[in-house]
Amino acid sequence: MAQQWILIDSPQSHVAETPRAWTGEHHGTPLSWQLGTLSGGRSEGVQILRVQSGATEFILVPTRGLGLWQASRDGQPFGWSSPVAGPVHPHWVPIADPSGLGWLEGFDELLVRCGLASNGAPDFDSAGRLTCPLHGRIANSPAHHLSIAVDDQGTLTVTGEVRETRFLIRSLRLRSTLRLRLDADVLELTDEIINDSAQDTTAQMLYHLNLGRPILGPGAELLAPVKELAPRDPRAAEGLARWAQFEGPQAGFAEQVYFMRLHCDDSGTSRAMLRAADRQLGCGVTFDHQALPYFVLWKNTAAEADGYVTGLEPSTNLPNPHSFESRHGRVLPLAAGATARLSLQIHLLVGAAAVDQFATEIASMEREQATSLVHRAPPANWSA
């Protein structure tokens, strides 16, 4: 059944005649995809790619930097309910707003990439002019290439490319591959950041994995093999004793952010999980520790109406302004023509067995590692 489709390959002078949907099966497991275009309000013109393989389903948004909008497993939704009500076409997201905060008008994905040249808080030049918008530009850049392949084992692979180019300044490219094995509960993401320029540059990447109901709720927990942890600021320090526990929605809850380094296993893999209170549901993330040495927990347990959500964020750096991170060496050097490879897997854990197994893996990593350093206040080189 091996097949391949090219869905976007820009610029095209005509709308592709390629099938916009396909349905198949592999040994009785259904497998399908559909490429659609939304209409109405801020979603007008947004292309979405929906993929289903057995009990797993996910939606990618090529128009929004190939972000992962939503996923589900056995009918259980993974994602959150953002007041933004997207997916929002980047044309409506004012990322060049002088405040640097326009990005917040488009934020509603399960997984949004923050990069490529920069991520983190907005940065400004000495005249107060925005240089790096909040969380960078890639999530509001369109894919110029999108293709899908299905192999003989029923593994589905989506490959896409997104550019972040400003003439004379930078020429970065994201090449992303998302693989879903037949009916598996793991979305396997491999990203390459390519420096298309003949000059050296740097990059940053943070994977903003956002979870709300039903996993998040009072009694939900963050499990992670912490090596070192610090609150980002005094507000986060207030909640330090219970940094890994979650409360219910609280109107006006001001976000608490924790910066961490995690342990990794012998293969160099780190992992973390948000586990529901009843331990029947969890979302795990595993990732290459060397490429993504930092892990950020964003607790935003505000009212449902304002986005009751937490973010699990493997990252190349800490989400401070780019100039601060650069000063502390937390940027990814990319030589002329070089490629950095980042890999991350999202585990859609449904049922006690799957949840417990993932928790056991984290616990065994914690046992094997002696140290766990918790700072009462942010180290000077960690927080801007």
- Residues 277 to 306: which contact a second copy by CB under 8 A? 302-306
Measure the CA angle with vertex 134, ends 192 and 227; round to 5°: 65
Give the residue with the Cβ less far from a second copy, 2 or 169.
169
In the bound complex, what is the minimum distance in angstroms from residue 231's beta carbon to a second copy?
A: 19
Tokens 């991350």: give the residue: 344
144 lines the binding site for a second copy (CB under 8 A): yes
- Out of 21, 85, 353, 363, which residue is the one contacting a second copy (CB under 8 A)? 85
Tokens of 238: 């207030």
In the bound complex, what is the minimum distance in angstroms from residue 88's beta carbon to a second copy?
A: 9
Q: In sequence order, which residues have a C-beta less than 8 Å from that of residue 15 and are 6 or more positions away? A: none
For the chain, the C-alpha Rg in angstroms (whole number) is 20
Give the count of residues interacting with a second copy (CB under 8 A). 76
267 lines the binding site for a second copy (CB under 8 A): no
- Out of 60, 117, 130, 355, which residue is the one contacting a second copy (CB under 8 A)? 130
165 lines the binding site for a second copy (CB under 8 A): yes
17 lines the binding site for a second copy (CB under 8 A): no
23 lines the binding site for a second copy (CB under 8 A): no
DSSP string of 267-290, one letter each residue:
TSEEEEEEE-TTSSEEEEEEEETT
Is 62 in contact with 191 (CB distance < 8 Å)? no
176 lines the binding site for a second copy (CB under 8 A): no
Give the residue with the Cβ less far from a second copy, 75 or 128.
128
Question: Among 176, 31, 120, 91, which Cα is nearest to 323's?
Answer: 120
Part in contact with a second copy (CB under 8 A); list of ranges 99-107, 179-187, 226-234, 285-293: 99-107
- Out of 142, 225, 231, 378, which residue is the one contacting a second copy (CB under 8 A)? 142
Give the residue with the Cβ less far from a second copy, 32 or 171.
171
- Residues 338 to 377: which contact a second copy by CB under 8 A? none
- Residues 322 to 341: which contact a second copy by CB under 8 A? 336-337
In the bound complex, what is the minimum distance in angstroms from residue 105's beta carbon to a second copy?
A: 5
In the bound complex, what is the minimum distance in angstroms from residue 173's beta carbon to a second copy?
A: 10
CA 194 – CA 337 distance, rounded (Å):
7
Tokens 């897997």: give the residue: 345
Strand-by-strand arrangement of the 3-9 sheet: 3-9, 143-150, 156-166, 170-180, 186-195, 339-350, 281-288, 269-275, 221-223
Residue 177 — φ and ψ, nearest 5°?
-125, 125
Give the residue with the Cβ less far from a second copy, 36 or 219.
36
- Residues 183 to 222: which contact a second copy by CB under 8 A? 196-199
Residue 198 — φ and ψ, nearest 5°?
-90, 5
Regarding beta strands 294-301 and 308-315, do their DSSP bridges make them parallel or antiparallel, or are they unpaired? antiparallel
